[in-house]
Amino acid sequence: MGFQMLVPFGPWNWLFLLVALRCGGASSDLNESTNSSAQPELNVRFAAAGSEPAETVSVFALDYNYVQIPYEVTLWILLASLAKIGFHVYHRLPGLMPESCLLVLVGALVGTIIFGTDHKSPPVMDSSIYFLYLLPPIVLEGGYFMPTRPFFENIGSILWWAGLGALINAFGIGLSLYLICQVQAFGLSDVNLLQNLLFGSLISAVDPVAVLAVFEEARVNEQLSMMIFGEALLNDGISVVLYNILIAFTKMHKFEDIEPVDILAGCARFIIVGCGGVFFGVIFGFISAFITRFTQNISAIEPLIVFMFSYLSYLVAETLYLSGILAITACAVTMKKYVEENVSQTSYTTIKYFMKMLSSVSETLIFIFMGVSTIGKNHEWNWAFICFTLAFCQIWRAISVFALFYISNQFRTFPFSIKDQCIIFYSGVRGAGSFSLAFLLPLSLFPRKKMFVTATLVVIYFTVFIQGITIGPLVRYLDVRKTNKKESINEELHTRLMDHLKAGIEDVCGHWSHYQVRDKFKKFDHKYLRKILIRENLPKSSIVSLYKKLEMKQAIEMAETGILSSTAFSIPHQAQRIQETKRLCPEDVESMRDILTHNMYQVRQRTLSYNKYNLKPQTSEKQAKEILIRRQNTFRESTRKGHSLPWGRTAGTKNIRYLSFPYSHPQPAGRDVRVAEFTDHDGSDAEVPSIMFNTHSPTGSLQEGRRTQEIIPMKSLHRGGKPPHLGYQRNRSQEEQLGRGRRAVLRPKPLFHAVDEEFESGEESEEEASAIGSRWSTEHRPGRDLHRSHRPLLQRK
Amino acid sequence: MGSRSSHAARIPDVDSIRRETGFSQASLLRLYHRFRALDWNEKGYLSRVDLQQIGALAVNPLGDRIIDSFFPDGSLHLDFPGFVRVLARFRPVDDEDNGNRDPKEPEPLNSRMNKLRFAFQLYDLDRDGKISRQEMLQVLRLMVGVQVTEEQLESIADRTVQEADEDGDGAVSFLEFAKSLEKMNIEQKMSIRILK
């Protein structure tokens, strides 16, 4: 286990800690009050240095209190990171249990250590730290990585499910527990209705995304993932809003004084808080998008702008007692599209990674607090309350899932099956959110706070461990996967072919959604918003040279790995083939099967694949790149043999500098920049200059006359996916370097960027697909398509 | 966006298409919209280039072949009925269809055999009704990464043909192909849910 490597590391530090404590002998709390204590410490130090005649000048002294807080926090985060590394080293683990399990365990471990060493300063999380510092990054990350298209397509279902589901759960659990509390035998009669409702609202805050990674490989369909993701996103916001409203009620006056007017006011407030938050978020999103339009010369502050505006939206909303969570989510969603096109590539990567990092740190810290609070003396165990809480959580979730989906299925084109609903029911794993809200209950209003905290902890541990670990097998069972391991080579090959075929046909079919609304929005967006918010005339020169460098390097690599080698693509020499049927022994067959399994290309994932804790590695970039190069090669081969191509050498040597259209011989990778439907990318495409490479091939057999290559800025394509940027260019000079006789002739130098993750992000609408298309250096358009090329320019204006 | 009418009457021959393919009215409408969306310069038919515009197909290892399958017999233009005919193969199989089917009528386009035939023609480029070793090798090459050497590929191709070939002619006929996949749930594998 990963913990083994932590063990030698851990005790040393804690030993050091103990020693320091004995020496330091001070105790402080790990919150802002430490600052005040640090101050006198500081003064003391200086005083000691200055005036007091100490015994001697200490050559070696220890001042632990000075660094205590940052030191411990850093240690915890490092510990969690090491555990995560260990977790992923064992490949099977991530498929078995969600990463939250791991974090909970790490938290418990830290808690044990602190408790065991009787450390005098257990970390304390208070309300302002949580709501101001720890919560926003988590929510921001969720909002930023949300794939917008599936979200808005399913928004009705998502709002219905997340909103009503949270409310039903909260009130259901609260009321049921209140009824239980009325039973005298359990000794809970001092817990009144409001407290129960509050507890219900905080315990219904689920974090289902944590389990998403566990059954990701089971190819859950897109709608289901989107429902889960949408629920996770909105659930936090709704719980916190409910929580705040109920706390306000609790503070207001005694329970008996609450009148129906107040309840109505509460409902109205709920709606206003929600919508107001979203409104502010959208405003800030637009502002920040607008500002990024002007940052081309100081791209280093772009991430800063993104983060600061998001955070600002949160703070402003909180100031006005609106929902900061919904504000920051709306801000992230609005801003993402435009910011991605405006900022430079590196800024984009920075933003993504930094966001992941911040949210991961926040969550780790919350889990550590949770662990510390678990292993402690401040528990109150009440069997009845806890057991019934657990039971009611499950019961009410089941009720809400099945009831709400039954209703929404009547209106959906593609209803959710019972299997889907079971998965949604079972993914109701609680997470850090519930714990924080429970922990921050004001003790004055909740004399039995400890009981609530204990109950929350039990529910969290139960759901995270039991449900988290069993959901994988459950999903696989429901999926009725063929467990037929002994697939013959035939079957493997053919099934993979069929998968690819199916994915291809799905792409041809495109996405069927509510065209009208989407089209209207796109028109509006294209006409007004993009003009205001997107940069004009993105400078290309630096990018171009950067790409050239990248491509050269990659081309060299590729040549070395044999992609460009003739053997990979040559027509097999029939003469050398000796047709014998060999009898293969089983081991050979096995190894063959293995080779096939491991090397066949993966089917492009259309569903969104969101992993809360990680950004997926870019393996399928390579795959896409290989496929494209191969197509280029084979196509070139076929054209070389004089297959009929209506396009002749039209290009000539006209040096037309069209801003968006490449010309040359037709390629299967005919990734033209199309205007009509692909409104989202017109902006970026039209701004791209084309670069002419006058390659005269030695044999001059092909339309190498003039190639226009278009370098499309990579960032113009980001749709919730990771940036591909693998520019690949087989340069003429590089050709000469390689000196491949046969091939050197025919290298149209396409410039294309392998795109992959766009696929996984599930944004497979026409725009994205063509956006992906347009990313490719759209090479080759015959001259007669000139009229077509004009079109986009005209239309754009 | 052009004049996109949502009226089913605009689809030519809608009734005969419905009978032939079994699509519902709503699905046909959607497909028609999609057809027109792909046909962005409104020629009324699709050419290969239009389908190549779908960027995601470009990184599908079988992209070219899939596009070719829409243009049978080397034609260059794809009209709406042809488009729908291909997509009809991927309709989910309705169990009731098979029960009530009149045995004298031609098989529905989305029957298991027809699905298999469609997959078969992806391999069999020269349309001789058999997948030769060469054709198998070509498909393998398309679908496998570059780490696999040519020799390995050849031996895999050999083995594949050998496993399926029963009459020993060194090639896989359609029936042998179907037999090798008899255990597979083709109906589910080659069905797209949204194409009801």
pLDDT above 90 (res A397): yes
Q: Is-contact B139 A497, C-beta < 8 A?
A: yes
List of long-range contacts for A65-68, beta carbons under 8 Å, 24+ apart: A65/A24, A65/A26, A65/A28, A65/A37, A65/A38, A65/A41, A66/A38, A66/A41, A66/A42, A68/A28, A68/A30, A68/A34, A68/A121
User: How close, in Å, is residue B144 to chain A by CA atoms?
Assistant: 4
Torsion, Cα A379 A385 A390 A391, to 10 degrees, reads 170
User: How close, in Å, is residue B101 to chain A by CA atoms?
Assistant: 26
Q: How far apart are CA A78 and CA B131, in angstroms?
A: 57
Candidate from B118, B154, B194 with C-beta closest to A512 = B194
Candidate from B34, B87, B181 with C-beta closest to A494 = B181
Candidate from B62, B122, B146 with C-beta closest to A568 = B146
Q: Average pLDDT, stretch A47-52?
A: 47
Read out DSSP for A184-245? GGGT-TT--HHHHHHHHHHHT-B-THHHHTTTGGG---HHHHHHHHHHHHHHHHHHHHHHHH
Interchain contact, A670 vs B41, CB within 8 Å: no
Give the tens place of pLDDT for each residue, A111-145.
Answer: 888 888 776 665 677 778 888 888 899 889 888 88
Quick one: angle between helices A222-252 and A193-203, nearest 10? 150
pTM of the model: 0.65
Residue with tokens 């590695």: A617
User: How close, in Å, is residue B142 to chain A by CA atoms?
Assistant: 8
Residue with tokens 């260019």: A729
Identity of the residue numbered A363: E
Q: How far apart are CA A461 and CA A104, in angstroms?
A: 8
| Residue of B46, B59, B135 to mutate when probing chain A, most A C-beta within 10 A | B59
Q: Is-contact A683 A767, C-beta < 8 A?
A: no
Position A740 scores a pLDDT of 40
ipTM of the complex: 0.91
Which residue on chain B is closest to A522 by alpha carbon?
B1
Position A395 scores a pLDDT of 93
pLDDT band at A486 (very low <50, low <70, confident <90, very high): low
Of B63 and A732, more confident: B63
Candidate from A579, A670, A755 with C-beta closest to B53 = A670
For residue A776, the chain B residues in CB contact (below 8 A) are 55, 58
Identity of the residue numbered A102: L
Burial category of A729 from C-beta neighbours within 10 Å (exposed 0-12, middle 13-18, buried 19 and up): buried
Give the tens place of pLDDT for each residue, A525-535.
Answer: 777 877 777 77
Among candidate residues A46, A593, A145, the one with its CA nearest the CA of residue A351: A145
Give the tens place of pLDDT for each residue, A210-219.
Answer: 777 666 655 5
Give the tens place of pLDDT for each residue, A251-278.
Answer: 776 656 667 787 888 888 888 888 899 9
Which residue on chain B is closest to A769 by alpha carbon?
B55
User: How close, in Å, is residue B97 to chain A by CA atoms?
Assistant: 20
pLDDT above 90 (res A315): yes
Candidate from A497, A582, A671 with C-beta closest to B143 = A497
Give the tens place of pLDDT for each residue, A146-159.
Answer: 887 778 878 888 88
| Residue of B66, B89, B146 to mutate when probing chain A, most A C-beta within 10 A | B146
Which residue on chain B is closest to A622 by alpha carbon?
B145
| φ/ψ bin of A563: left (φ > 0), alpha (ψ from -120 to 50), beta (otherwise) | alpha
Q: Which of A540-554, B10-24, B132-146 is predicted with the least confidence, judged by mean pLDDT?
A: A540-554
Q: Is-contact A106 A368, C-beta < 8 A?
A: yes
Q: How far apart are CA A739 and CA A702, in angstroms?
A: 19
User: How close, in Å, is residue B7 to chain A by CA atoms?
Assistant: 14
Interchain contact, A674 vs B59, CB within 8 Å: no
pLDDT above 80 (res A374): yes
| Residue of B53, B184, B194 to mutate when probing chain A, most A C-beta within 10 A | B53
User: How close, in Å, is residue A398 to chain B by CA atoms?
Assistant: 26
A229: CB partners within 8 A, 6+ apart: A146, A151, A209, A212, A608, A610
Q: How far apart are CA A512 and CA B33, in angstroms?
A: 9
Identity of the residue numbered B54: I
- In chain A, which among 766-785 make CB contacts under 8 A with chain B? 766, 768-776
Tokens of B160: 């594949």
Q: Is-contact A297 A342, C-beta < 8 A?
A: no
